[in-house]
Amino acid sequence: MGGTVIEPNVAADAKAMELTDGFHLVIDALKLNGIDTIFGLPGIPITDLTRKAQAAGVRVISFRHEQNAGYAASIAGFMTQKPGICLTVSAPGFLNGLTALANATTNCFPMILISGSSEREVVDLQQGDYEEMDQLAIAKPLAKAAFRVLHAEDIGVGVARAIRAAVSGRPGGVYLDLPAKLFPQSIDAEAGRRSLIKVVDPAPRQIPAPEAVKRAVDLLRCAKKPLIILGKGAAYAQADSEIRNLIERTGIPYLPMSMAKGLLPDTHEQTASAARSYVLPEADVVMLIGARLNWLLSHGKGKTWGGKSSKDWGGQKFVQVDISPQEADSNVRIDAPVVGDIGSCVSALLAAMGSTIQKPPAEWLNAIAERKAKNVAKMAETLAKNPSPMNFHSALNVVRDIVKANPDAYLVNEGANALDFTRSIVDMYQPRKRLDVGTWGVMGIGMGFAVAAAAVGKQQVIAIEGDSAFGFSGMEVETICRYDLPVCVVILNNNGVYRGDEKNLTGGRDPAPLVFVKDARYEKLMEAFGGVGAHASTPEALRKAMEEAIRSRRPTLINAIIDETAGTESGRITNLNPSAKKK
Ligand code: ADP
Ligand code: TZD
């Protein structure tokens, strides 16, 4: 009899005792919001978080350096419109991840850097805790937003705020500080479940004002030489068919910025890429779609745009489609800002144009076609050459064919000459497949981007790397092998930064600052971890090795030997490189 009285109470007690903790709430909050992958590097205080996340079905990709995990997270954000998550330990791990967070904010990639941190009381009194640092304060100026959670009950809100901040409006990097003490905090499991938030509509559509749309359409209607510039914001927006419609229905020639290549295939007849230096100064109305008039577009003025001096406007009128209401007029006057998300803006522009769209005047289109044909023929001639040793052109001619035959593949790209030549030689055929150094021209994104593209994009990755660029993240070939990712790294190896033939001006024993060990065998690095290494000193050998890599889907590193005198200093941005007048 006694047993029947006691039993329900025991059950009730047991139920009341069901607890959860900070570790589980963080994982549950992320999972509830569709986060299925975490890029990171374990250690105090987040070791158990990585382990428990994996046990809970989240894919945890562990890197050898936090910066690479951070770059992986940021590009996953760009590819998916979901915030990429990077998880690090305190102080040094946090700082290692911070470069990637700042780069994400600069590039408008949605990312959340989650770092464990040391004891608040000790940190704030600067009493010398293990890995002591006021991380929140340091992250703030580099992040779009930064939050700290002190109580397990607030984890749901903290994660929700971080997600909204990362993906709404102009996307960016968000910092979430989780002190060590938070993780083992226990609370009632039911209360914990109730505290979590599934974010509703994290990146709400932003519909442009009808008068802004009309202003833009009116301006485009009177254009004689219109031009559209597509930026990586247009790629990010995933409004691919709307953008294609706009381009094809208006017949306006367009230029894709580097990471917008492939939004429409680079072989599209309306692309003006091969006539860039003609269309920028000649155009009278330019519509920017998800592209800023920053240094990559010479700030919208100066010689590139037909201006007489570097501060001089070329006289173009601009339409700018952007989600940030502050972007317009950043460099030159924007006559028709259209503020909203690109999908909504482009749809509204198409609707406002109706069926009365006039194609641009034939003289404009013909003039562009003529320049294009000339430049394409010139390039074909250069690409057909087969010099020995290989140069950038003869190597990239192979890459161009391989990408054409494998349009699903991701193309990761960094370096100086290795970047500039790849961008102009290798055509892209699908949106969001070209992943590169972005707004800062940062070296070091290579292997992090490659891991993310393979793990999240689930396609073959081809990474075209300068030998200097590769060095920044080279150790992650172990990560590539460990997760057995279909990544083919091609190092365009010219023995140094930009080129490899510099001499120490003093004649001393130290090498010149820009050169590396000659004939370095980078392919051995991949072999060290069980991947495939190949040495290619001819286009034929490079082609064979790349074809084999793609056929086998095995981690592969091809050391492609390039003439060490082939590059130019700073690639195509030599003009930005100050050099000493005094010799
Ligand atoms: P690129 O380097 O390719 O020229 P930028 O990074 O300079 O491109 O510009 C991207 C722009 O796209 C930013 O100004 C950003 O505010 C904008 N943007 C990003 N996502 C969206 C979106 N979904 N809708 C509208 N604009 C967006
Ligand atoms: N450090 C970081 C983080 N980013 C940078 N952009 C640089 C340094 C400076 N830098 C460039 O702008 S390109 C480059 C460096 C070091 C490397 C160029 O050499 P490479 O490519 O071997 O990668 P090429 O093909 O030889 O030019």
DSSP character at residue 274? G
Q: Please state the φ and ψ torsions of residue 63, each to the nearest 5 degrees.
A: -105, 175
Tell which residue, 494, 495, 493, has the closest CA to residue 511. 495
Q: In 169-300, at which residue ranges do the beta strands (DSSP E only) sit?
A: 173-179, 186-188, 226-230, 254-256, 285-289
CA of 292 to the centre of ligand 1 (A): 7
CA of 206 to the centre of ligand 1 (A): 14
- pLDDT(54) > 90: yes
Segment 216-236 shows an average pLDDT of 97
- pLDDT(150) > 80: yes
The pLDDT > 70 percentage for the chain reads 97
Q: Give the model's pLDDT for residue 27.
A: 98
**Angle formed by the axes of helices 47-55 and 22-32, nearest 10°:** 50
Helix (H, G, I), strand (E, B) or coil at 431: coil
Segment 520-548 shows an average pLDDT of 98
Residues with beta carbon inside 6 Å of ligand 1?
107-108, 170-171, 231-233, 236-237, 257, 259-260, 290-292, 294, 296, 322-324, 327, 341-342, 439
359: which 2 tokens?
A: 């194609």
Sign of CA dihedral 137, 138, 144, 150: negative
How would you classify the pairing of strands 410-414 and 434-436?
parallel
CA of 425 to the centre of ligand 1 (A): 24
Segment 341-347 shows an average pLDDT of 98
Which ligand 1 atom is at minimum distance from the Cα of 324?
16
pLDDT digits (tens, 9 = 90+) for 239-261: 999 999 999 999 999 999 999 99
Cα→Cα distances 70→443, 446, 488, Å: 14, 12, 21
| Mutation pick for ligand 2 pocket among 490, 497, 518 (CB with most ligand atoms within 8 Å) | 497
CB 83 within 8 A of CB 167: yes
Ligand showing the shortest atom-to-Cα distance for residue 391: 2
Segment 82-96 shows an average pLDDT of 98
Beta bridge pairs of residue 268: none
Measured by CA distance, the residue closest to atom 7 of ligand 2 is 443
Beta bridge pairs of residue 230: 256, 289
CA-to-CA distance for 457 and 227, rounded, in angstroms? 32
Q: In 4-148, at which residue ranges do the beta strands (DSSP E only) sit?
A: 19-21, 37-40, 59-62, 84-88, 111-117, 145-148
Task: Determine the residue type at 364.
Answer: W
| pLDDT band at 3; cut points 50, 70, 90 | very low
CA of 531 to the centre of ligand 2 (A): 26
CA of 339 to the centre of ligand 1 (A): 11
CA of 556 to the centre of ligand 2 (A): 22
CA-to-CA distance for 148 and 22, rounded, in angstroms? 13
Beta bridge pairs of residue 113: 86, 175
Which ligand 2 atom is at minimum distance from the Cα of 99?
3
Q: Please state the φ and ψ torsions of residue 430, each to the nearest 5 degrees.
A: -135, 150
CA-to-CA distance for 196 and 192, rounded, in angstroms? 7
CB neighbours of 236 closer than 8 A, spacing ≥ 6? 78, 81, 108, 109, 171, 290, 432
Helix (H, G, I), strand (E, B) or coil at 62: strand
| Helical spans, DSSP H, in 385-522 | 392-405, 417-425, 446-457, 467-471, 477-482
Q: In 27-158, at which residue ranges do the beta strands (DSSP E only) sit?
A: 37-40, 59-62, 84-88, 111-117, 145-148
CA-to-CA distance for 361 and 180, rounded, in angstroms? 65
Measured by CA distance, the residue closest to atom 22 of ligand 1 is 341
CA of 442 to the centre of ligand 2 (A): 8
217: which 2 tokens?
A: 């359409």
**Angle formed by the axes of helices 392-405 and 417-425, nearest 10°:** 50
Segment 459-470 shows an average pLDDT of 98
Residue 503 CB: number of other CB atoms within 10 A? 9
Segment 485-502 shows an average pLDDT of 97
pLDDT digits (tens, 9 = 90+) for 414-449: 999 999 999 999 999 999 999 999 999 999 999 999
CA-to-CA distance for 136 and 117, rounded, in angstroms? 9
Cα dihedral 48/51/54/58 (nearest 10)? 30
How high does pLDDT run on average in the chain?
96
DSSP character at residue 333? -
Cα→Cα distances 554→155, 176, 329, Å: 40, 36, 48
pLDDT digits (tens, 9 = 90+) for 285-300: 999 999 999 999 999 9
CA-to-CA distance for 338 and 215, rounded, in angstroms? 9
Tell which residue, 53, 42, 106, 116, has the closest CA to residue 78. 106
Segment 60-65 shows an average pLDDT of 98
- pLDDT(6) > 50: no
| pLDDT band at 582; cut points 50, 70, 90 | confident
CB 216 within 8 A of CB 174: no
CA of 533 to the centre of ligand 1 (A): 38
Q: Give the model's pLDDT for residue 15.
A: 57
**Residue 131 falls in which region: left (phi positive, over 0), alpha (psi -120 to 50) or beta:** left
| pLDDT band at 12; cut points 50, 70, 90 | low
Q: Please state the φ and ψ torsions of residue 42, each to the nearest 5 degrees.
A: -75, 170
Residue 219 CB: number of other CB atoms within 10 A? 18
| pLDDT band at 400; cut points 50, 70, 90 | very high
CA-to-CA distance for 264 and 247, rounded, in angstroms? 9
Q: In 524-575, at which residue ranges do the beta strands (DSSP E only) sit?
A: 532-536, 556-561
Segment 188-215 shows an average pLDDT of 98
| Mutation pick for ligand 1 pocket among 103, 323, 437 (CB with most ligand atoms within 8 Å) | 323
Tell which residue, 271, 209, 263, 260, has the closest CA to residue 232. 260
Q: Give the model's pLDDT for residue 2.
A: 41
CB 415 within 8 A of CB 392: no
Tell which residue, 191, 193, 157, has the closest CA to residue 176. 157
Residues with beta carbon inside 6 Å of ligand 2?
415-418, 441-444, 466-469, 492, 494, 497-498, 567, 571
CA-to-CA distance for 259 and 122, rounded, in angstroms? 45
Segment 179-198 shows an average pLDDT of 98
Tell which residue, 472, 448, 403, 491, has the closest CA to residue 109. 448
